[in-house]
Amino acid sequence: MTEGAADHPWFLRKHEDGTIFGPLSFEQLARWAAQAQVAPHDSISTDQQNWIKAPMLPELRMDWIVEVTSERLYGPTTLGAIREFIELGEIGAETFVINSCDATRYRVRDLAELLAADAPDEQVQSSDPAPVAAGMSIAADDRIRELEEALREERRALAEADERYRELEAAYRSLIEAGQAG
């Protein structure tokens, strides 16, 4: 563990609205990270003066990146958060995840053993008000824009291929005609 990480009270600052939670024990902070309540852009501090992004503290084990779509990633996050996203239906067995420590890529279905081994034995209740879980849902409007852009790109590529085909066909016919004339 980072020098004295468990010996300090911690503070969590939510990226979305700047809300600060704390002081918290390291165990509570780690539990929140495992429960998808600490997002990749949230910051943590022991003194409320010097803040770092939560994934920068190795002890939080925010080592996983989720491939939400082929163009969109979420993370780094924890195995516990991945388990939460599965339960919420935000990702499925075929979703890819990457271990950011060693760059290995897995389908969620291949992590079943690892997810089960990492599962908490019991839910510890705390009187501390917890932050809202960090969802990774993509807003429908954003997804529609992404799909429309992808469709425009595919149409552009099809038009270029069509044009190239016409050029090749014209060149082929010219060769045939030249061969028949000669």
Q: Which pLDDT tens digit goes with each residue over 104-133? A: 999 999 998 888 887 765 554 455 566 655
Based on the structure, what is the number of domains in the chain?
A: 2
Mark whether 109 and 153 lie in a shared domain. no
Same domain assignment for residues 92 and 157: no
pTM confidence score: 0.62
| Residue 68 shares a structural domain with residue 92 | yes
3-state per-residue secondary structure call for 75-137: EEECHHHHHHHHHCCCCCCCCEEEECCCCEEEEHHHHHHHHHHHCCCCCCCCCCCCCCCCCCC
Confidence (pLDDT) at 143: 59
pLDDT bucket at 157, cuts 50 / 70 / 90: confident
DSSP SS3 for 9: coil
Q: Is 26 in the same domain as 99?
A: yes
> What domain range includes position 99?
5-136
Does residue 1 have a pLDDT over 50?
Answer: no
User: What is the pLDDT, as a whole number, of residue 173?
Assistant: 93
Distance CA 64, CA 80 (A): 10
Residue 177 and residue 180: Cα distance in Å, rounded? 5
